[in-house]
Amino acid sequence: MRDAKLELVGATVRFGGRAVLDSVGLDVAEHEIVSVLGPSGSGKSTLLRVVAGLQPLDEGRVFLDGRDLHGVPAHKRGVGLMFQDHQLFPQRDVGGNVAFGLRMHGESKGQQAVRVRELLDLVGLPGARERAVASLSGGEQQRVALARALAPRPRLLMLDEPLGQLDRSLRERLVVELRQLFGELGTTVLAVTHDQGEAFALADRVVVMRDGRIAQSGTPLEVWQRPADAFVARFLGFENVTAATVSGEAADTPWGKLPVPSDARQGEVDLLVRPAGVRLVPAAEGLRCTVAARTFRGTHVAVRLQPEGAPWLEAACALRDAPETGDEVGVAFDAAEIVVLGGARGA
């Protein structure tokens, strides 16, 4: 008996010679919420389809509750999947959609009615049972899709870009609701998304994928603080990533000698300088830069700095300190905000 609720071992899927999933290993523990994060084409949707039984594996194994799912068809796996654009059945009303899985599992009409009411209450749509699917807003459709997926009490719930099509404010509200709901129900969840904010807000653990492989796995805080490599750092939105040579407590970069923590890995590495680690000083001191652009970000101003003969740098400044476009400034670096990235150089 294996411990993990869901376990993938060496899962590989090839489309015409190209590996969409390349020997992926992944464990999801009981009651854990795992978010798979990656750009489009990284294989994250294929991962869900493999677990759901909609996509056969070329190599590897999938275990659910310790049982090998090889050869088990989709309708007998007992997992739930919420599709990217919901895929509600257009010819059925809301109740018919939520009850669908219960009907397939042969529950009585009475049980179905009770469970449908329970779930519609749970997702915040009481009394919507007889509404037509076409009359629902995007957010309501999302709730119905969630109720439908939860109704047969799946052993594992999978979400494919669950909030993808909703507008920003609704997304931010729903992601909190979802996390609360899953916590109360004790649901084991595997979600995929391309939106880092969504992944970090929803998940206990984040798995970053790239080209069919897992690039990093960890808690949201770990991944945010110590991106595994240059790819993950850039994917998370960090701009100041560069190749560097570390010797002692200094790194040689296009921006000059930068201080690094004393325990930093030595030699040829990739280096991340967080925007907060780029401090503005008078033009005479530090690295001389021209302010190329500034973007108001609400809590701070992102300033794009162009040093002479080096890649541009992004700095985060408080609003009152932010320089004007065209100003000449100097830049100093803060060792605490500089991360030597793991993984192969130039990844």
Partner 1 sequence: MAVPVAFFGLFFAYPVAAITARGLKIDGVWRFGRIGDVLAQSDIRHVLWFTTWQALASTALTLLIALPGAYVFARFDFRGKQVLRAVVTVPFVLPTVVVGTAFLALLGRGGLLDELWGVRLDTTVWAILLAHVFFNYAVVVRTVGGLWSQLDPRQEEAARVLGASRFAAWRRVTLPALGPAVAAAALMVFLFTFTSFGVVQILGGPTFSTLEVEIYRQTSEIFDLSTAAVLTLVQFVAVGAILAVHAWTVRRRETALRLVDASVTARRPRGGGQWALLVAVLATIAVLLVLPLAVLVERSLDAPGFGYYKALTSDEGGIFLVPPIEAVGNSLQYALAATAIALLIGGLAAAALTRRDAGRLVRGFDALLMLPLGVSAVTVGFGFLIALDKPPLDLRSTWILVPLAQALVGVPFVVRTMLPVLRAVDGRLREAAAVLGASPWRVWREVDLPMVRRALLIAAGFAFAVSLGEFGATVFIARPDNPTLPVAVARLLGRAGELNYGQAMALSTILMVVCAVALLVLERLRTDRTGEF
Contact residues toward partner 1 (CB under 8 A) are: 52-54, 73-81, 83, 85, 87, 89, 91, 100-101, 104-105, 148-149, 152
Of the two residues 109 and 257, which places its CB atom closer to partner 1 in the complex? 109
- Closest by CA to 274, choosing from 239, 302, 307, is 239
State the helix-helix crossing angle for 94-104 and 138-150, rounded to 10 degrees.
20
Strand order in the sheet with 250-253: 256-259, 250-253, 241-247, 267-273, 338-341
Question: Residue type at 191?
Answer: A
- Smallest distance, Å, CB 81 to partner 1? 4
Burial of 198 (0-12, 13-18, 19+ CB in 10 A): buried
Of the two residues 193 and 253, which places its CB atom closer to partner 1 in the complex? 193
Give backbone dihedrals phi and psi of 142, rounded to 5 degrees, phi first.
Answer: -60, -40
- Smallest distance, Å, CB 275 to partner 1? 40
- Smallest distance, Å, CB 78 to partner 1? 8
Of the two residues 77 and 294, which places its CB atom closer to partner 1 in the complex? 77
- Closest by CA to 45, choosing from 13, 10, 1, 90, is 13
Of the two residues 152 and 212, which places its CB atom closer to partner 1 in the complex? 152
- Smallest distance, Å, CB 100 to partner 1? 5
Of the two residues 100 and 224, which places its CB atom closer to partner 1 in the complex? 100
- Range list of β-strands (E), 38-183: 59-64, 67-68, 79-82, 156-160
- Smallest distance, Å, CB 133 to partner 1? 12
- Smallest distance, Å, CB 79 to partner 1? 7
Strand order in the sheet with 6-15: 18-28, 6-15, 59-64, 67-68
- Smallest distance, Å, CB 151 to partner 1? 8
- Smallest distance, Å, CB 218 to partner 1? 29
Q: Is 281 helix (H, G, I), strand (E, B) or coil?
A: strand
- Smallest distance, Å, CB 87 to partner 1? 4
- CA atoms of 280 and 276, how far apart (whole Å): 10
Burial of 224 (0-12, 13-18, 19+ CB in 10 A): middle
Of the two residues 74 and 319, which places its CB atom closer to partner 1 in the complex? 74
Give backbone dihedrals phi and psi of 29, rounded to 5 degrees, phi first.
Answer: -80, 160
Of the two residues 18 and 75, which places its CB atom closer to partner 1 in the complex? 75
Of the two residues 159 and 246, which places its CB atom closer to partner 1 in the complex? 159
- β-bridge mates for residue 304, sequence order: 293, 314
Provide the 8-state DSSP code for 171. H
Of the two residues 60 and 78, which places its CB atom closer to partner 1 in the complex? 78
